[in-house]
Structure 1
Amino acid sequence: MSEQQTVTDQHLKVSVDNGVMTIQFNRPQALNAVTREVILALDEAIERAATEARAVVITGDERSFCSGADLAGAANSSGGGGGVGLDVVNALIRKIRDLQVPTVAAVSGPAAGVGCSLALICDYVVMSENSYLMLAFTRIGLMPDGGATALVAASAGRHRALRMALTAEKVKAPTALEWGLASEVASADTYLQRAQEIATTFAQGPTLSLGITEAAINQAALSELDAALDRELEGQATLSATADFKEGVQAFLQKRTAKFEGK
């Protein structure tokens, strides 16, 4: 992809400008909820970024960064991931971690479920003042995935990770910054511009040095990530076969309170 060229499809908008690749989720009608196809398209974009970009920005739109997995097909899924499939999610998370090109998340609205993981796996997180992080998995009888059990704990600590995972509360941008889950907070009008400014600074810098530095820090701080991804894969496979999961998804789709029975 050449500089200043933009490619848009039903999954993503991808552009490169002065060495910065901007990857934008393109499902505004679903608050940028991801399907398996979206994850595969994002994986392909990250693959290209390894050779075509000097920095990467991952973003959504004004309403939402990514609201998680699209649950429309979740009732019939197996193996977790809300119908997306943890095989492709885990491969993507590992690819972003191992990409020795600086990555910046520009977050607006919700970064929920796997969307939270996709934000936190980035090297730098800029949150709009109106945005929030959320691990809502227990509301449908699942557990956090996409590496969230390691990513949140690595940045915020065990008890805050448990608080997020068990209560499914919305962690708003100022609190996320205080907890170490965000690098900075910007206004709703400037968060994307700020993220692109940071990415441009990275792109104009010593990218070999930056890449080796972020790889070293990730290896130290996220040493449990691979094991966490494997545990989540096993746990979601078990939970997605339960009656509680089926009830949770039906309740979500029907916009009612779920009636869980612990089985």
Structure 2
Amino acid sequence: MAVARHAGLRVELEEGVLRVTFDRQERMNALDLESMNALGDLLTGRAEDPSVRVVVIAGAGAAFSTGADLATAADGPGADPRAVMASANRVIRAILTLPVPVIARVNGAAAGIGASIAFAADLAFAAPSAYFLLAFVNVGLMPDGGSSLLVPAAIGRARATEMALLGRKLGAADAAAAGLIARVLAEDELASHVDAVAARLARGPRRAIELTKRSLTAATLARIDEAIERETEGQVELLAAPDFREGVAAMLGGRAPEFGS
């Protein structure tokens, strides 16, 4: 089994299962623009290969992904906001529209766009250590990656609003009970369970699985494109605003932010 590494991603293909592992452990698997672009390229390119029948996304070490790498924003937003949003949106749309199922194997933190990636997956399995956090509000931003629809579609408006407006952390057990993820597995059982599910899907009827996924997505997320467009317009505005710069500076400085708007 060949292992490729690129832009903080570890990529393996074996027996129809494409495994993509976030591997920036020194940054708790936070994704910078290069990593996000590489992930988008992978999901819109190699994952469309007929030899790929399942995609598994995981995080190396102690976290799934803590979201966007805000350390690069210490001196301001850095990249063009529309480029940042286009890159993230491309990943989410790819996960939702791939003809093969996508499984998220979540341990530790899944925050920001990291949480959105897990929510967009067709199946998400988590260790007891996992938690999900829409941390955007803490740095003067709004949910993106389709999470403004993905979360309330799964757990309802009230709990989604609590997560989004208060930045409430949702533990793995609560996420499973609310229907946001499929199941919680013991730490020493998670990897083997995901491997077994992936192997089963890889042996399954490819076209039937594709049409089933498409039907379920259409029935539950018919307005995902509208949600992504709203998020994009709002986030582009917020990424250029003073509150975002203050939020990032406060986070990196270990202090409470002082928002002005």
The bucket for the TM-score relative to the shorter chain is over 0.9
Aligned AA (1:244):
D
Structure 2, unaligned stretches of length 5 or more?
none
Equivalents in 2 of 1:58, 1:164: separation in Å?
23
For the Cα contact (< 8 Å) 2:77–2:239, is it kept in 1? no
Partner of 1:43: 40
Equivalents in 2 of 1:250, 1:117: separation in Å?
24
Matches within 5 A, 1:236-251: 236-251=235-250
Equivalents in 1 of 2:79, 2:7: separation in Å?
25
Shift of residue 196 of structure 1? 1.7
Shift of residue 193 of structure 1? 2.1
Partner of 2:128: 129
**Normalized against structure 2, the TM-score is what?**
0.95
Aligned AA (1:250):
A
Aligned AA (1:237):
V
Matched, 1:62 2:58: no
**Normalized against structure 1, the TM-score is what?**
0.94
For the Cα contact (< 8 Å) 2:8–2:22, is it kept in 1? yes
Task: Give the alignment's Cα RMSD to 1 decimal.
Answer: 1.4
Matched, 1:76 2:83: no
Partner of 1:19: 16
Sequence identity of aligned pairs in percent?
37
Partner of 1:8: 5
Aligned AA (2:236):
A
Matched, 1:200 2:199: yes
Equivalents in 1 of 2:10, 2:37: separation in Å?
14
Equivalents in 1 of 2:81, 2:5: separation in Å?
29
For the Cα contact (< 8 Å) 1:49–1:56, is it kept in 2? yes
Aligned AA (1:109):
G
Deviations 1:133-183 (A, max 9, x none): 000000001001111101101111111111110111110000000111110
Aligned AA (2:183):
E
Partner of 1:115: 114
For the Cα contact (< 8 Å) 2:7–2:34, is it kept in 1? no
Aligned AA (1:128):
A
For the Cα contact (< 8 Å) 1:79–1:233, is it kept in 2? no
